[in-house]
């Protein structure tokens, strides 16, 4: 048997941001021991097998730059546990923050008929599943062109006992029935330029799928395509308008705000707003089709 503590594990995470070491140590031990809480001062006994797994995980984190979510196999997102197999995009806190903001807005409204919601580029399914889990009387569609992403998202739905999301393999909206229209469209699409991608941390460049991160036209290609296609699919008579809730929610890069604002205005959107994340960076743009 081997005795370890949070402090002793944190000390080995020398390449991790000092502000994160204690949290990473806690998450690793919780995953290895299959427990939900560890006291900061607890001393934990690990079997030889568990200790070997812990040392392997520490090596992967500190030497191989493997993301913690891939090591543990899941990540928390909006009160859900989302399975995250490599190389699918790992849900970010910045995405979780605006998703929770949207859920709070939706839960202040009341409607008779189910809201129809579309999540474009669903990946692990985190956004679609969070909305379906937290909001009553919604029908959610989630699309992704990657069949592995669709399979993972469906598994996450089953894991979290969520049955109100329809997953469809589709390149943007191409495989959706032409008659389908939506009250709300959300997306966290690839929006990083190839040049910007080369500057990212190794934990992103080496491990996560570049196709889930990089977009052509300096990162704008998919943002523009989603905005254009959504314009034809958003219900202009949606109940969300009477509550002042924007119908298009797009995650964007922190320098893309002014250009995206001008673009949405030019193609027929109104009530366009930029929103900052918890770090003060522009992270989201919202808008509704002009009447």
Q: What is the CATH number of the domain that holds 111?
A: 3.40.50.150
Q: Of 40, 64, 88, which one is at a domain's C-terminal end?
A: 64
Question: What are the tens digits of pLDDT across the range 3-45?
Answer: 999 999 999 999 998 988 999 999 999 988 888 888 888 899 9
Are residues 78 and 207 both part of a single domain? yes
User: Considering the domain boundaries, does residue 85 fall inside one?
Assistant: yes
User: Are both 242 and 120 inside the same structural domain?
Assistant: yes
Considering the domain architecture, whether residues 218 and 255 belong to the same structural domain is answered as yes
pLDDT of residue 67: 96
CB-CB contact of 262 with 287 (8 Å): no
**Same structural domain for residues 46 and 88?**
no
Q: Is residue 155 located within the same domain as residue 260? A: yes
pLDDT band at residue 105, thresholds of 50, 70 and 90?
very high
Q: Answer whether residue 125 is part of any domain.
A: yes
Give the residue numbers spanning the domain of 47.
2-64
d(CA 266, CA 271): 13
- pLDDT for the residue 111: 83
pLDDT at 291: 86
Q: What are phi and psi of 58, to 5 degrees?
A: -65, -40
Residue 69, domain member (yes or no): no
Closest to 120 measured CA to CA, from 165, 75, 66, 186: 186
Check residue 110 and give its pLDDT.
Answer: 82
Domain count, the chain: 2
Confirm whether 217 is domain-assigned: yes
Say if residue 95 is exposed, middle or buried (CB neighbours under 10 Å; 0-12, 13-18, 19+): buried
Q: Is 147 in the same domain as 269?
A: yes
Residues 100, 217 within the same domain? yes
Kindly report the length of the chain.
291
- How would residue 210 be classed by pLDDT, with cut points 50, 70 and 90? very high
Please say which residue of 38, 64, 90 terminates a domain: 64
Position 35 scores a pLDDT of 83
Any domain includes 191:
yes
Mean of the per-residue pLDDT values for the chain?
A: 95
Same domain, yes or no, for 49 and 101?
no
Instruction: Say yes or no: 90 and 42 in one domain.
Output: no
Question: In this structure, are 81 and 197 located in the same domain?
Answer: yes
Among candidate residues 64, 99, 117, the one where a domain is terminated: 64
Q: Is residue 240 part of a domain?
A: yes
Sheet holding 115-120, edge to edge: 165-169, 138-144, 115-120, 184-187, 248-251, 282-289, 269-276
For β-strands 74-77 and 43-46, DSSP reports them as unpaired
Looking at the structure, tell me whether residues 57 and 88 fall in a common domain.
Answer: no
250 and 167 both lie in a single domain:
yes
pLDDT at 258: 98
Burial of 245 (0-12, 13-18, 19+ CB in 10 A): buried
The pLDDT > 90 percentage for the chain reads: 86
């Amino acid at each position: 048997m081997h005795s370890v503590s949070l402090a002793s594990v944190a000390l080995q995470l020398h390449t991790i941001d000092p502000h994160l070491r204690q949290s990473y140590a806690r998450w690793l031990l919780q995953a290895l021991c299959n427990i939900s809480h560890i006291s900061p001062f607890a001393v934990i006994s690990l079997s030889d097998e568990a200790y070997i797994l812990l040392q392997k995980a520490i090596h992967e984190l500190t030497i191989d730059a493997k993301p913690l979510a891939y090591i543990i196999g899941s990540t928390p997102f909006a009160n859900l546990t989302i399975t995250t197999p490599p190389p699918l995009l790992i849900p970010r806190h910045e995405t979780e923050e605006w998703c929770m903001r949207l859920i709070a807005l939706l839960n202040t409204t009341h409607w008779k008929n189910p809201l129809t919601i579309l999540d474009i580029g669903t990946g692990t399914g985190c956004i679609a599943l969070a909305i379906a889990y937290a909001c009553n009387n919604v029908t959610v569609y989630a699309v992704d062109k990657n069949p592995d992403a669709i399979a993972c998202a469906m598994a996450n739905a089953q894991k979290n006992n969520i049955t109100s999301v329809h997953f469809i393999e589709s390149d943007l909206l191409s495989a959706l029935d032409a008659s389908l229209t939506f009250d709300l469209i959300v997306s966290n699409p690839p929006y990083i330029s190839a040049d910007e991608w080369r500057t990212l941390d190794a934990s992103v460049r080496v491990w996560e799928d570049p196709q889930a991160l990089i977009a052509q036209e300096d990162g704008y290609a998919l943002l523009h395509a989603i905005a254009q296609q959504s314009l034809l699919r958003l219900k202009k008579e949606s109940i969300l308008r009477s509550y002042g809730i924007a119908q298009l929610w797009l995650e964007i890069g922190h320098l893309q705000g002014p250009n995206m604002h001008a673009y949405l205005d030019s193609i027929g959107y109104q009530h366009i707003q930029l929103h900052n994340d918890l770090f003060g960076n522009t992270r989201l743009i919202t808008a509704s089709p002009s009447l």
